[in-house]
Chain A
């Protein structure tokens, strides 16, 4: 495997279900991100982890719970979601190194539909 992988690629869940999205990066990066991409809205940053510590949390509802067990893996745990949470969820990674602006590498995304 190379780059950033995400599983599953598609997920349909009911509002009472609990599911998890998984992201894995094979690039040796030390920062990982979750983004939400809804139709007709700009990409929204949800969470950022740097060196396995959460450094950004953009007022995301508590029904989304991130987990970063190590620098290569990132999870997004979902429970009691709402239909408006249906979106493409993108994971990204980058190498954070002091004063540099390093680009992010994105996974293919998980298309989530909440019924």
Chain B
């Protein structure tokens, strides 16, 4: 059965420093997609970055990068040069099989950026 694990309930980071949010996953499907979403206190989930299981290179989107280690089944999110506006909940998610619709989410990590 597919599963997403985020072991860090909360993380603190100093403004302008980098932070890594951990995510491990479990699936028996060779084809899957991994996502990270940000949820500010306003409630809306915001898509950040995507990694496909067959992608050879780690995904990057601006200050966000995904450290994809397929053999270890981990997909950690790295945020560089943290900003106060990065304080939010961060969710790792996975969808199996191309064209599938079912996405499962991890429990989330709350990130606090300190000035």
Verify B45–A90 contact, CB threshold 8 A: yes
A23 within 8 A of B: no
Residues of B within 8 A of A41 (CB): 107
Say yes or no for A69: interface residue by CB 8 A criterion: no
With contacts A90-B45, A92-B45 known, is A103 near B35, CB below 8 A?
Answer: yes
A7 sits at the interface (CB 8 A): no
Of the candidates A43, A45, A88, A96, which one forms a contact with B99 in the assembled complex, judged by CB atoms under 8 Å apart?
A96
Is B105 a contact of A109 with CB atoms below 8 Å?
A: no
Among the 9-residue stretches A48-56, A60-68, A72-80, the one with 4 or more Cβ atoms under 8 Å from chain B is A48-56
Within the complex, the shortest CB–CB distance from B26 to chain A, in Å, comes to 14
Which bucket holds chain B's interface residue count?
Answer: 20 to 34
Known: A101-B50, A101-B52, A109-B44. A31 touches B101 (CB 8 A): yes
Q: Can you list 7 residue pairs at the A/B interface with Cβ under 8 Å?
A: A50-B101, A90-B43, A90-B45, A99-B98, A101-B98, A103-B47, A109-B44
Since A104-B103, A106-B45 are in contact, a sample of 13 more A-B pairs with Cβ atoms closer than 8 Å, ordered by chain A residue number, is A45-B104, A48-B101, A56-B102, A58-B102, A88-B43, A90-B43, A92-B45, A96-B99, A98-B99, A101-B33, A103-B35, A108-B43, A109-B43
Q: Residues of A at under 8 Å CB distance from B?
A: 31, 33, 41-43, 45, 48, 50, 55-56, 58, 88, 90, 92, 96-101, 103-109, 111
